[in-house]
Amino acid sequence: MSIAIEPAAEGDLGDIDALWREAFADDEPRHRAVLTVPVKLAFQPDLFLVAREGGRLVGSVMAGYDGYRGHINRMAVLQSHRRRGVGLLLMREAEARLKALGCVKINLQIRAGNNDVAEFYRKLGYAVEEHLDMAKKMS
């Protein structure tokens, strides 16, 4: 069955929640779909993409563009649908949308030691850049 990539919709909340609970099992509660999906649907919703197979939601990627750099988050595919190219389709559509907005470089973070995911991004042309990653929680 073919895979369709399209922006997420409000009705996808439950499926996205299930996908993220499976893909990001040790997620902090503040990352839960019920909190983050409505915010993203109100801000750059065209950059929040889902993959569907025959109407079933099987993957997601949340891209962002700040006018300078592009960012990728919440890249996830259902375990049952991995290694079938769904992740590549999601990323290529996210990249195409970012490029159309004028984005010339995309940054993303993965957890240290997550070699499988690093392989996935390498396949798409991403390379490791040595930076000290800093963050500040605003709430």
CB of 84 to ligand COA, least distance (A): 5
Strand partners, 7: 49
C-beta closer to ligand COA: residue 75 or 103: 75
| The residue type at 73 | N
Residue among 83 and 137 whose Cβ is closer to ligand COA: 83
Rounded CA-CA distance 24/3 in Å is 22
Instruction: List helix spans (H) across 10-134.
Output: 13-23, 33-41, 86-100, 115-123
Contacts with ligand COA by CB under 6 A lie at 23, 75-77, 82-88, 110, 116-117, 119-120, 123
Task: Give the nearest distance from C-beta 102 to ligand COA in angstroms.
Answer: 24
Amino acid at 106: I
Q: Taking CB positions, which residue lies at the least distance from ligand COA?
A: 87
